[in-house]
């Protein structure tokens, strides 16, 4: 396993749309292991998407298992994910490994229904709400070449320099 380099804004590759995964083999599982190791190396990262490490396939890892008071599905590997239903909207603060110096307020759906494949190609359906729904939407944006800074209502009032704690 290896810790991969994270692309950071203003790298234009972050704007690239990712291609679907069509081969569920050992090389995919090896990449997922490297992506997970990279996520774990990030400061407080609950999710990571393949395009953040210059691998332009529709792969996301999400793990909210460390937040027991937050409704969640635990550790998820989502391949070719697609939101099939969403409802409700709320503003919330987001940060990103690819935008390390800023956080921002973004409006997201509060409840979603999602379908995705796992590392073996088996399709699953999930119903998500709250922080888990927000985190999935954030990671799925990476697959379409979007960052949270593209979704802030106003860069003047909703974008904040990240605090550095010593």
Domains of the chain, each with CATH number or no CATH:
12-161 (3.90.45.10)
- The pLDDT value recorded for residue 155 is 85
* Active-site annotation holds for 139: yes
List, for residues 89-118, the tens digit of each pLDDT value. 999 999 999 999 999 999 999 999 999 999
pLDDT tens for residues 12-44? 999 999 999 999 999 999 999 999 999 999 888
Is 142 marked within a binding site? yes
Q: Which two tokens stand for residue 74?
A: 């635990």
If one compares 47 and 153, the residue with the highest pLDDT of the two is 47
Whether residue 144 is preceded by a cis peptide bond, meaning omega within 30 degrees of 0, is no
pLDDT at 9 over 60: yes
Distance from CA of residue 123 to its chain's centroid?
19
Per the residue annotation, which of 82, 94, 127, 139 is the catalytic one? 139
> Does 96 appear as a known binding residue?
yes
- Burial class (CB within 10 angstroms; exposed 0-12, middle 13-18, buried 19+) of 154: exposed
**pLDDT at residue 163, rounded to an integer:** 75
pLDDT grade for 162, boundaries at 50, 70 and 90: confident
Q: Count CB-CB contacts under 10 A for residue 164.
A: 6
């Amino acid at each position: 396993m290896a810790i991969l380099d994270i692309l950071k804004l203003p790298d234009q590759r972050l704007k690239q749309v990712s291609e679907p995964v069509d081969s569920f083999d050992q090389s995919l599982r090896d990449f997922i292991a490297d992506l997970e190791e990279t996520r774990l190396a990030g400061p407080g990262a609950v999710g990571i998407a393949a395009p953040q490490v210059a691998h332009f396939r529709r792969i996301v890892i999400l793990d909210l298992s460390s937040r027991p008071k937050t409704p969640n599905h635990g550790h998820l590997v989502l391949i070719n994910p697609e939101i099939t239903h969403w409802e409700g909207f709320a503003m919330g603060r987001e940060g990103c490994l690819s935008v390390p110096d800023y956080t921002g307020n973004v409006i997201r759906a509060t409840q979603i229904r999602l379908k995705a494949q796992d590392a073996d190609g088996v399709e699953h359906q999930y119903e998500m709400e709250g922080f888990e729904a927000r985190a999935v939407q954030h990671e799925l944006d990476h697959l379409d070449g979007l960052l949270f800074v593209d979704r802030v209502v106003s860069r003047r009032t909703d974008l904040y320099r990240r605090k550095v704690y010593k």
